[in-house]
Amino acid sequence: AQSVTQPDIHITVSEGASLELRCNYSYGATPYLFWYVQSPGQGLQLLLKYFSGDTLVQGIKGFEAEFKRSQSSFNLRKPSVHWSDAAEYFCAVGGTGGFKTIFGAGTRLFVKA
């Protein structure tokens, strides 16, 4: 069955430090993978997506993610975090053949000065 796991409920990083948010998925074929960001009380904004090609994908706001098929992972990274990056981040997986896109439970990012 299709599933998404975000192992970290929350993460705290210092401003200027690097960030990596983990995402593991379960899907029988090549997945469509997404990262979204949600500020408090707002909808979700698409950061980046992967469905084929280069396994390192670049997104908006300086984020990137790497697809590793052998590890069933799609971790989100940013080299230097800004205070405005504090938000909740959701990994999502979708597929063809009628599989709906499902979301992980999210990772809340706190940024300390």
Exposure b/e, 17-50, CB count within 10 A at least 16 = b: eebebbbbbebeeebbbbbbbeeeeeebeebbbb
For the CB of residue 41, give the shortest distance to another protein in the complex, in Å. Answer: 7
- What 8-state DSSP symbol labels residue 106? -
> Please, are residues 68 and 55 in contact by the beta-carbon 8 Å criterion?
yes
**Which of positions 30-69 make contact with another protein (CB under 8 A)?**
32, 34, 36, 41-46, 49, 51
The closest alpha carbon to 35, from 111, 95, 113, 106, belongs to: 106
Whole-angstrom Cα distance, residue 67 to residue 85? 22
Residue choice 21, 27, 74, 94 for contact with another protein (CB under 8 A): 94
Q: Which is nearer to another protein, 51 or 77 (CB)?
A: 51
Q: Which is nearer to another protein, 41 or 113 (CB)?
A: 41
Of 19-27, 28-36, 64-72, 78-86, the window that binds another protein (rule: CB under 8 A) is 28-36
> Please, are residues 76 and 47 in contact by the beta-carbon 8 Å criterion?
yes
**Residue 86 makes contact with another protein by CB under 8 A:** no
**Residue 75 makes contact with another protein by CB under 8 A:** no
Binding residues for another protein (CB under 8 A): 4, 32, 34, 36, 41-46, 49, 51, 90, 92, 94-96, 98, 100-106
